[in-house]
Structure 1
């Protein structure tokens, strides 16, 4: 755990103390990939809620970067929730591979559901951000046992492109960026993603493989039965027109917060909106 926090260049003392030490476990899924997941129990001083919250992070990040360090885990455990964060394949402590055939959000959704099966819970609440939002939507379209659903950092691209909005961030350029020998030749926004991944100790060939395998096949949003919150930064180029996505999911509500695609870690209003939705 400490290594994860150091790799994110965040002082250990800045992380909420109640959330620093999860129980981390792994499961080997059907294609032989090891999937790591991290579990936090509810705070001892509050009444525990029976429905666990499962968190799925975004591209280049992991559970610690997107959910622990910004305080989302601490907020949920303080509200009596058991929290489980899944490191997607190619990210965090999960297995790595340069083979694009082993990636894609559909494959990651299967991994997530394998972890959920181990929780022995009749229902879960599920939160996903960016790439993780696609994973969460695919899982929710398949499993009615997902009670509440939060999808962040995505917008009309889910409806119009079938996944993360590759019109704003072309997947071929992204894959090239993670394999380029000379990152100085990259455009500033693409170079920034690579720098972020390197800062976090990401496995660049695995990230390139995921970029090549990004989900484009669409999602059966009509099959999503969970009570849903769509949340996005109001200047996020990867989550433009999020009302289009909210309108495609029965009963979904929309929340906009100030900021771009970094709101998962930079804006406390993003964290508060998620916690309020899941614990009200």
Structure 2
């Protein structure tokens, strides 16, 4: 996420967002994974299938989904919502050790949270890093009824995950740990500034950057109807039609914007809600 936010605007958005019920789950390696829950709005017909959200790199559930309006849009449509803070992010446990990270490890955490929901199925939405986590989860989790992935494109097919050709993971890790962020090149300076703005743990983010998934995903194993959604100026989601074409039952939606569409674009939110409702 690189969209420009001020501390005051972020604080105001968080204060205005619907408050969640937050809990933690201790997963198999002892890491505590925080997850946040919201009920459907009163007076609307509830859908028995919850929507599970997974945020992108350096964000967390409250910053990416609650403060930006996605949670409110979903609960207004009668959906219960569960947002998972990835390890190293938000209220989940932190570590500077890259061996504790990677999107495949995060997918195991996500499946552990899903297993606690006592729901007949889930609709799963992931953005950027979270999209890779969601794709890995859906490839091996029959409980996923519908899937939405945003902020990714051909890189998932061609390099196995987030497109490190546009943003090399080693460069990102070094930028996050740099002593003088003023000297950083513009392509990483925005990410560093965003991470600092939201109070992210920089050593943990650097560890995840070094562990980024690049082993490939069995996209043909995804059975859920899928929406691939990307901004038309997003350098991390180039050629999203390549990704949509590799998933058996996928459609593609392009919206105006860059990698910040997850927070900036009403069109993004309406596309997600509409697809999950259809």
TM-score normalised to the size of structure 1? 0.95
Distance in 1 (CA, whole Å) between partners of 2:230 and 2:8 is 25
1:112 aligned to which of 110, 113, 126: 110
Which one of 81, 86, 89 corresponds to residue 88 of structure 1?
Answer: 86
Output the CA distance in 2 between the equivalents of 1:15 and 1:96: 22
- 1:56 pairs, out of 49, 54, 57, with 54
The alignment of Structure 1 onto Structure 2 pairs a total of residues equal to 274
Distance 1:192 1:15, change over 3 A: closer
Distance (Å, rounded) in 1 between the aligned partners of 2:60 and 2:99: 21
Please give the alpha-carbon distance, in whole angstroms, between the structure 2 residues aligned to 1:13 and 1:211: 29
Q: Distance in 2 between matches of 1:149 and 1:8?
A: 32
TM-score scaled by structure 2? Answer: 0.95
Per-residue deviation at 1:20? 1.8
Matched, 1:260 2:258: yes
State the Cα RMSD in Å. Answer: 1.5
For structure 1, list consecutive stretches of 5 or more residues without a partner in the other structure.
Answer: 1-5
Distance 2:7 2:181 in 1: 20
Determine if contact 1:7/1:200 at 8 Å carries over to the other structure.
no
Comparing 200-209 with 69-78, greater Cα deviation is found at 69-78
Deviation at 1:11, TM superposition (A): 6.0
1:27-46 correspondence runs (5 A): 27-46=25-44
Task: Report if aligned partners of 2:223, 2:249 keep a CA contact under 8 Å in 1.
Answer: no
Does the residue aligned with 1:150 lie in a helix, a strand or coil?
strand
> What secondary structure sits across from 1:184 in the alignment?
helix
Residue segments in structure 2 that go unaligned for 5+ positions in a row: none
1:158 paired with 2:164, answer: no
2:224 to 223, 226, 232: 226
Pairing partner for 2:200 from 192, 199, 202: 202
CA contact (8 A) 1:235 1:259 kept: yes
Q: CA deviation at 1:10?
A: 3.0
